[in-house]
Amino acid sequence: MDTKRQDEAPARQPRDRDRRRWPREGQPHDEAAPSLVPVLEPLAFSTLELAPRDQFAAWQLHMAPLVDVRLPDDKSPDDGFPASHTAWNLGGMLIVQQRAPAHSYIRSAAKLRSSSIDHWYIVLSRTGRSWTEVDRRVAETQSGKLEIRSLGYPFRGRVTDSESLFLYLPRDLFSDAASTLDAKNNSILSGNFADLLADYVNSVEARLRSLTAEDLPRIVHATRSMIIACLAPPADHAAAAEQLASVGLMERARRYVQNNLDAAHLTPDSMCRALGVSRSRLYQLFEPSGGVLHYIQSRRLLAAHVALSDPADSRRIVDIAETFGFSSAANFSRAFSKEFGYSPREGRSTMMLPRPAHSVSLAEREKTSSFEGWLKALGS
């Protein structure tokens, strides 16, 4: 018996040593290890539990912050619209898993005027096909392809019964590469980097439920780097370089205007000095936007619209008008009505009435727990 135990001992020893290599739960050095607790909670929306006749109206309301949607001509709301939309908030990026029947969509100039959302988004199509038009240029995509588009420009299109993955990224995330992205607006991505990006996005989606707090900023940074790599222009394309320079200058001008909306010195002269360009170059740059002064006024009116729509902002209408450079309430009211089709007072009452009379903190929590709230907070 003693000989048998001696023979068995060497066989057990390696397993004992292997076990001792792994720390036990509760040992002191475990406390210093990073947390591996998953942090993402999806925001799920589905029409499947609604009556068929109510499904499309619910989908229209859910998508309203981004686009207006319509049924195909041969479809009726009574036919039903079984769709699902699951959003994941990574802080600097939203990932959305979407399934929807065929429909058309439009992000109109009117919607842009009343929306502060100007993010970039990338679509990875899983099934179905889509056609999207921007400035009379149509991008056609199909299963397995990636497309990139800006929510800062009007567009319209249609899609067949489809399943897709959407990535929403704030414009400021690409502030140093804005010209590169703007030149590729409404494009289908192709090449090795596009294939690598698609593989990467698929792998991130597969791990959404297990991602930790430390993972999120790294994933956003890696996604940004891969998108820029996909869009990098050929160094020897002189025409493309000139176009990118103009788009880059426009981006700088846009940011300058946005950062100085409440400044009295926001004028074409101050912009020329800040951007280092001549007046003729500045006017040429803003000609497609209706001119420099028109662009400045439009952005100020939009900022005033956002302030009026904020239930936490109790300032008088005349005070909001003065903040954004309007010398009189009458001038502000005329310009606001022309821009949006209703008066500032009507805009405030329309936006305020549906909101419950909760405290500001509760209202803010409710706002950020919706898809619209996530979109508005993205990048802020």
| Residue 234 binned pLDDT confidence (cut-offs 50, 70, 90) | low
Q: Inform me whether the pLDDT recorded for 15 exceeds 60.
A: no
Q: Are 110 and 218 part of one and the same domain? A: yes
Can you give the pLDDT at residue 258?
84
Q: Are 215 and 343 part of one and the same domain? A: no
Q: Are 285 and 224 part of one and the same domain? A: no
Using the 3D structure, point to which of 185, 211, 232 is the last residue of a domain: 232
Can you give the pLDDT at residue 357?
30
Q: Inform me whether the pLDDT recorded for 364 exceeds 60.
A: no
Can you give the pLDDT at residue 228?
87
**Which comes out higher in pLDDT, residue 244 or 273?**
273
Is residue 145, in this structure, part of any structural domain at all? yes
**Which comes out higher in pLDDT, residue 343 or 58?**
58
Is residue 377, in this structure, part of any structural domain at all? no
Is residue 362, in this structure, part of any structural domain at all? no
Query: Which whole-number Å values give the CA distances from 56 to 103, 226, 333, 365, in the listed order?
Result: 10, 36, 36, 27
Can you give the pLDDT at residue 308?
86
Residues 51-76: what's their mean pLDDT? 96
Q: Inform me whether the pLDDT recorded for 32 exceeds 50.
A: no
CATH code for the domain in which residue 322 is found: 1.10.10.60
Q: Are 208 and 262 part of one and the same domain? A: no
Q: Inform me whether the pLDDT recorded for 4 exceeds 50.
A: no
Among 99-108, 152-161, 193-202, which is the least confidently predicted range? 193-202
CATH code for the domain in which residue 113 is found: 2.60.120.10
| Residue 16 binned pLDDT confidence (cut-offs 50, 70, 90) | very low
**Which comes out higher in pLDDT, residue 123 or 264?**
123
Cβ atoms within 10 A of the Cβ of 137, count? 11
Residues 271-294: what's their mean pLDDT? 89
Q: Are 181 and 63 part of one and the same domain? A: yes
What range does the domain containing 114 cover? 42-232
Using the 3D structure, point to which of 210, 232, 254 is the last residue of a domain: 232
Q: Are 51 and 194 part of one and the same domain? A: yes
Is residue 327, in this structure, part of any structural domain at all? yes
Q: How many domains does the chain have?
A: 2
Q: Inform me whether the pLDDT recorded for 10 exceeds 50.
A: no
- Kindly report whether the global pTM for this prediction surpasses the value 0.85: no
Q: Are 93 and 192 part of one and the same domain? A: yes
Q: Inform me whether the pLDDT recorded for 31 exceeds 50.
A: no
Q: Are 48 and 163 part of one and the same domain? A: yes
Q: Are 200 and 257 part of one and the same domain? A: no
Percentage, residues of the chain above pLDDT 90 = 43
Is residue 10, in this structure, part of any structural domain at all? no
Q: Are 52 and 186 part of one and the same domain? A: yes
Q: Are 221 and 279 part of one and the same domain? A: no
Residues 241-250: what's their mean pLDDT? 61
Can you give the pLDDT at residue 284?
87
3-state secondary structure the chain: CHHHHHHHHHHHHHHHHHHHHCCCCCCHHHCCCCCCCCCCCCEEEECCCCCHHHHHHHHHHHHCCCCEEECCCCCCHHHCCCCEEEEEECCCCEEEEEEECCEEEEECHHHHHCCCCCCEEEEEEEECCEEEEECCEEEEECCCCEEEEECCCCEEEEECCEEEEEEEECHHHHHHHHHHHHHCCCEEECCHHHHHHHHHHHHHHHCHHHCCCCHHHHHHHHHHHHHHHHHCCCCCCHHHHHHHHHHHHHHHHHHHHHHCCCCCCCCHHHHHHHHCCCHHHHHHHHHHHCCHHHHHHHHHHHHHHHHHHCCCCCCCHHHHHHHCCCCCHHHHHHHHHHHHCCCHHHHHHHHHCCCCCCCHHHHHHHHHCCHHHHHHHCCC
Is residue 378, in this structure, part of any structural domain at all? no
Q: Inform me whether the pLDDT recorded for 99 exceeds 90.
A: yes
Residue 118 CB burial class (10 angstroms; 0-12, 13-18, ≥19): middle
Q: Write down the mean pLDDT value for the chain.
A: 82
Report the C-alpha gap between 184 and 120 in whole angstroms: 11
Using the 3D structure, point to which of 167, 202, 232 is the last residue of a domain: 232
| Residue 238 binned pLDDT confidence (cut-offs 50, 70, 90) | very low
Is residue 226, in this structure, part of any structural domain at all? yes
Among 63-67, 159-163, 234-238, which is the least confidently predicted range? 234-238
**283-330 per-position pLDDT tens digit:** 988 887 788 999 899 889 988 888 888 888 889 998 998 988 888 888
Q: Inform me whether the pLDDT recorded for 354 exceeds 70.
A: no
Among 6-10, 48-52, 184-188, which is the least confidently predicted range? 6-10
Is residue 16, in this structure, part of any structural domain at all? no
Q: Are 176 and 118 part of one and the same domain? A: yes
Residues 355-364: what's their mean pLDDT? 34
| Residue 248 binned pLDDT confidence (cut-offs 50, 70, 90) | low
Can you give the pLDDT at residue 358?
31
Maximum mean pLDDT: which of 79-88, 115-124, 346-355:
79-88
